[in-house]
Amino acid sequence: MRRFCPSCWAENEPRATVCAACGATLDETGKDFVAKMIDAVGHPEPTRAGIAIEVLGQRLREPRAVDALIARLKRRGDYMEITADAARALGAIGDRRAVPALIELLADPDRALVARIAAAEALGTLDDPGASHALKAALAASGLPYRLREAIQQVLAQRDGGS
């Protein structure tokens, strides 16, 4: 069995109390369930991170998770489904702090299409003028992939009648 450090995700011996890599304590007895789930958002194993993202975003809609979800969303080279799940979770939580990170993801042509579509859908759920503006600006941009253009049009139609 591997024991991961919740600070740096280095592997440690099962009985270790301090991380061999970073020196952080491995004792999590003072943390509540949500704090442990927030730590797990950064887990290197995508299934563990994905479960934490799902629980915090879609099920609990936990505002304490926003910063961790934004950090995961910004990871370059991450699994595209994890990035998309983080975007969806941020949309479900509905916190305006996520708007700049979601706009950045939406506008980045080097990111996976599924993640950019999830960012557009998340922006559509947020009551923020910047989100609306970003969706309309993206729609006006040239070279936008067809599926992303279609998703943005659908989001705008649901959001405000397509205006």
Output the CA torsion 163→153→59→68 (10° steps). -90
pLDDT of 159 above 90:
no
> How do beta strands 3-4 and 11-12 pair?
antiparallel
Contact present, 113 and 138 (Cβ < 8 Å): no
Q: What's residue 140's pLDDT?
A: 94
Q: How far apart are the C-alpha atoms of 26 and 16, rounded to whole Å?
A: 7
| pLDDT, average across residues 18-24 | 96
Q: How far apart are the C-alpha atoms of 91 and 123, rounded to whole Å?
A: 7
Where is pLDDT greater, at 135 or 2?
Answer: 135
The residue among 22, 27, 23, 60 whose CA lies nearest residue 41 is 60
pTM: 0.91
pLDDT of 128 above 70:
yes
Contact present, 18 and 24 (Cβ < 8 Å): yes
pLDDT digits (tens, 9 = 90+) for 49-91: 999 999 999 999 999 999 999 999 999 999 999 999 999 999 9
Percent of the chain with pLDDT over 70: 98
79: alpha, beta or left, given left = phi > 0 and alpha = psi -120 to 50?
beta
